[in-house]
Chain A
Amino acid sequence: MEKFAPVKRSEDGQPVRYLIVDDSVFARKNLVRMIESFGGQVIGEAGDGVSAISEYERLTPDIVLMDITMPQMEGIEAAERIVREHPNARIVMVSSVGYQENIVAALQRGARHFVQKPVKPEVLYEVIKYVMRDDGTTARGAGAGV
Chain B
Amino acid sequence: MRMDLIQPFINSADAVLAQALGSAISIEDLSMEKEAYRRKGIAAAVNLTGEIEGRIIFDVDLGAAVQLASRLAGVEVSEAHEDLVREAVLELANQIIGNAVTTLNDQGFRFHVRPPIVHTGEQGSKSSEDTEALVMGFNTSSGKVFMNVALSYHCSRAAEAAAAAR
Contacts and interface: CB of A to CB of B under 8 A. Distances in A.
Contacts of B115: 69, 71
Given A96-B97, A96-B98, A97-B98, A29 B91 contact: no
A97 B102 contact: yes
A83 B19 CA distance: 33
Contact of A118 (B95, B101, B102, B103): B95
B105 A99 contact: yes
Given A100-B106, A101-B105, A118 B19 contact: yes
B73 interface: yes
Contacts of B42: none
Given A26-B87, A118-B19, A100 B105 contact: yes
A88 interface: no
A39 interface: no
Contact of A29 (B19, B73, B94): B73
A95 B72 contact: no
A107 interface: no
Contacts of B87: 24-26
Interface in A69-102: 69, 71, 95-102
Interface of A: 24-27, 29-30, 33, 69, 71, 95-102, 116-118
19 contacts: A25-B84, A26-B72, A26-B87, A26-B91, A30-B72, A33-B74, A69-B98, A95-B98, A96-B94, A97-B98, A97-B102, A98-B99, A101-B105, A102-B102, A116-B99, A117-B94, A117-B95, A117-B99, A118-B19
